[in-house]
Structure 1
Amino acid sequence: MDRLQESLLECPIIEKDGYHYFVHPISDGVPQLDPGLLREIVIRIIRKAELDDVDKIVTPAAMGIHISTAVSLMTDIPLTVIRKREYGLDGETALHQTTGYSENEMYINDVREGDRVLVLDDVLSTGGTLAAVLGALDDIGADVVDTVAVIKKVGGDNEVADAGYDVKTLVNVDVVDGEVVIVDADGDD
């Protein structure tokens, strides 16, 4: 069993409004993130993702930043962060993000028509964030070469799949009786 699986099996579960959240350093920054775990995740992303001719890595703020930064450092692919703050810069594209627990406006800068991008995120749960991001990138005319989320929480809605997008994952989990259960140790390809 790898570090990612071990860390998920050990993480605390909290319940808010009937939704069970796992609290994990990759998705929440709590407890502290072990560098060995981050290194393992980055190596697995680099092995799983299609990186040929990728111009940029794109990630939504905030919890995709640490993962994407580490992948950027290892691959020398520039990183663009989708922010929750509007700057009003030329070419800025707005998108509406709806998840199982929040709604936000987000803004993409520095992605242009024809850019070949790798989209990275921490967790795929309802798919609301990634569906909005991928839809906005399509509207811009960017070529999404690949999309990878570290952890997929199975069960319930998956807006990203419903919208026709494919997302690779490193591990798929569920929360059953207050505990994380590994559903697929290798994720989705």
Structure 2
Amino acid sequence: MLRDVYLRAGVLDTGSYLTTVNELCDQLPALRPELLWYVTSHLRTRVDLTGVDKVLVEEEKGAPIGTAFSLMTGLPLAMARHYPYDFPSPRIGFSSEYDRSTLNVNGIEQGDRVCVIDDTLSTGGTVAALIGAVRELGAEVTQVAVVVEKADNGGRELLERELGVPVHSLLSIKVAPDTVHVVEGIA
């Protein structure tokens, strides 16, 4: 099911990277509940949540997946949001393949053990910024779980080798100007 979503995905040239437009990440077409359940249940089998206190997602594309994951696992959901609040919460800058912005990391406290969930791992910029914010708060990211990893964009290397956080993904893809190639992963 997930493979089919990416094989049917549209491809957009951002000027720096080729990115996909699809049902899971962009709700084009609308996200089917069975796809969300499929993705979430498979992500759950990939991660060891022993000792994990919270799930952290970025609100734009990770929110549907993180919400379903929180409901499935019973773990509290923390969210990194684009708009600021009038109370203290770390504001982090990040750069990804399609955005340069800031996020407020809400719901993480000192001593928490966190699993970061995201839709796509490409350059690793967004997730690396989240890991930095979690560490700044005196908490720990134990692992990262992503639905799709763009092979050859350096995200896994950044997170695992440079930041020491293991990454779990369901599907690895390569994006060409007119198509998406599935490299490996679930059916």
- The question of a shared fold, defined as TM-score above 0.5 by the shorter chain, is answered with yes
Q: 1:14 to 1:177 in 2, by over 3 A?
A: closer
- 1:23-62 counterparts in 2 under 5 A? 23-62=21-60
Range with bigger deviation, 28-37 or 12-21: 12-21
Whether the 8 Å CA contact 1:131–1:163 is kept in 2: the answer is no
Report Cα offsets for 1:131-159 as digits up to 9, x if no partner: 11111111212121221111111123434
Whether the 8 Å CA contact 1:50–1:145 is kept in 2: the answer is no
Whether the 8 Å CA contact 2:94–2:126 is kept in 1: the answer is yes
Once the 2 structures are TM-superposed, how far is the Cα of residue 118 of structure 1 from its aligned partner?
A: 1.2
1:106 corresponding residue in structure 2:
103
1:19 corresponding residue in structure 2:
17
Q: How many residue pairs get matched?
A: 183
Match of 1:77 among 75, 78, 83: 75
- Residue 123 in 1 paired to residue 106 in 2? no
Give me the whole-angstrom Cα distance separating, in 2, the residues matched to 1:17 and 1:181: 20
| Residue segments in structure 2 that go unaligned for 5+ positions in a row | none
Range with bigger deviation, 42-51 or 10-19: 10-19
Report Cα offsets for 1:92-115 as digits up to 9, x if no partner: 111111112321111112211111
Once the 2 structures are TM-superposed, how far is the Cα of residue 18 of structure 1 from its aligned partner?
A: 5.3
Whether the 8 Å CA contact 2:13–2:177 is kept in 1: the answer is no
Give me the whole-angstrom Cα distance separating, in 2, the residues matched to 1:45 and 1:112: 24
| Structure 1 letter corresponding to 2:118 | D
Of structures 1 and 2, the one with the larger relative CO (CA 8 A, separation 6+) is: 2
1:180 corresponding residue in structure 2:
180
- Residue 137 in 1 paired to residue 134 in 2? yes
Q: TM-score, normalised by structure 2?
A: 0.90
Q: TM-score, normalised by structure 1?
A: 0.89
Once the 2 structures are TM-superposed, how far is the Cα of residue 163 of structure 1 from its aligned partner?
A: 3.1
| Structure 2 letter corresponding to 1:146 | Q
1:89 corresponding residue in structure 2:
87
**Structure 1 residue matching 2:60: 3-state secondary structure:** coil
Give me the whole-angstrom Cα distance separating, in 2, the residues matched to 1:148 and 1:65: 13
Quote the RMSD (CA, aligned, Å): 1.6
Give me the whole-angstrom Cα distance separating, in 1, the residues matched to 2:86 and 2:177: 46
Report Cα offsets for 1:65-86 as digits up to 9, x if no partner: 0001111111111101111111
Whether the 8 Å CA contact 2:18–2:177 is kept in 1: the answer is no
